Chains A and B, each alone.
Chain A
């Protein structure tokens, strides 16, 4: 088979993630995975599908429902030189293990004066759009990105998911890897067109802190991440028919944040809309806009943001659809901007 034939293969985001995890587990016996329903069930969002068969129960471990216990165990194992991956089934559950996440995983290297490293990955399913109510639908992008000591990664496609996962496992510091449930390619929660992409068989690393221009445009920059990359691309498609050329910048990682790519794009288009599935206040939208403003307040003619208003995410479909920005909202925001 030629290289071209191999690259034809498409994968869902979940398969691209497990591809990277399996590769790293074959290469390094210190890599293992812990979480709720990650073994027999394969992860409720298919994050570990098929891994138990190959690696067995010592390395793909179902854990009791105690985030404090198993995130703590992962931190300890990492400090002793292993490379654990611990999964929060829903990112919403971070609170019950927050001391281990924030005071230990994120700070042990600092507190030890650099004597220990914590080379672990904390994975978590994020996001709404499927009526799972306020405690199972958050992204909490801003929460993790706000707290120093953790890298924060948010893939939007299968190709990106694999390269970012390789990099996360190989990183010598803690990485929070947030995968959007709607992008995984699960039967009961169909993904939009877009996250399923060609994925090379061979391993490859995508560095953190490199945003990706998913669509080039000249009139307005849409900065976003995760599911909303695809909603922004749909909006850009619609805007194009009205003669508005939108550029879509996929941040891919929040920490580190690729300010340069955002600035380059806004310099080109002169207008900026930031779209986020997290809460509006004190979050990703304000951070991105602040970075642009503190660099050069005159860089953009028009600036706006779209995010979840500062309310718990509703259960009812109509209400959830109302608070989570969709492609129509993005089009509306841009049409009301003074481009």
Chain B
């Protein structure tokens, strides 16, 4: 695994287009710092206006930090987590 820089996963990418609400909560994380993930793996769930949305990995790599706690609120556009990409997949 390379020690490449972590990429930030932005909540904007998962925001539904048909809501005005700008706040959401993290309902569940399924990974922790150190978890190895594949592209497309389920990382967590956020909830916007009572609708659950899956947060999936856009890149393979190692989760380096969760930036919002479980059950905590965040604003649209806030970063959710960071992943150190893995080049071998």
Contact = CB atoms under 8 A, between A and B. Distances in A.
A188 B36 CA distance: 29
Which range contains the number of B residues in contact with the other chain? 10 to 19
Interface string B31-70: 1100110100110010100101000000000000000001
Contacts of A196: 28, 30
A187 B27 contact: yes
Interface of A: 1, 5, 8-12, 46, 49, 185-188, 190, 196
Contacts, number: 36
A10 B70 CA distance: 14
B83 interface: no
A196 B45 CA distance: 13
Interface of B: 25, 27-32, 35-36, 38, 41-42, 45, 47, 50, 52, 70-71
Contacts of A186: 27
A186 B70 CA distance: 12
B28 A12 contact: yes
B36 A8 contact: yes
A5 B27 contact: no
Contacts of A5: 36
Q: Most chain-A CB neighbours within 10 Å: which of B36, B38, B42?
A: B36
A187 B45 contact: yes
B35 A8 contact: yes
Contact of A9 (B30, B52, B71): B30
Given A9-B35, A11-B30, A190-B70, 17 more contacts: A8-B36, A9-B31, A9-B42, A10-B29, A10-B32, A12-B28, A49-B52, A185-B28, A186-B27, A187-B27, A187-B45, A187-B47, A187-B50, A187-B52, A188-B47, A188-B50, A196-B28
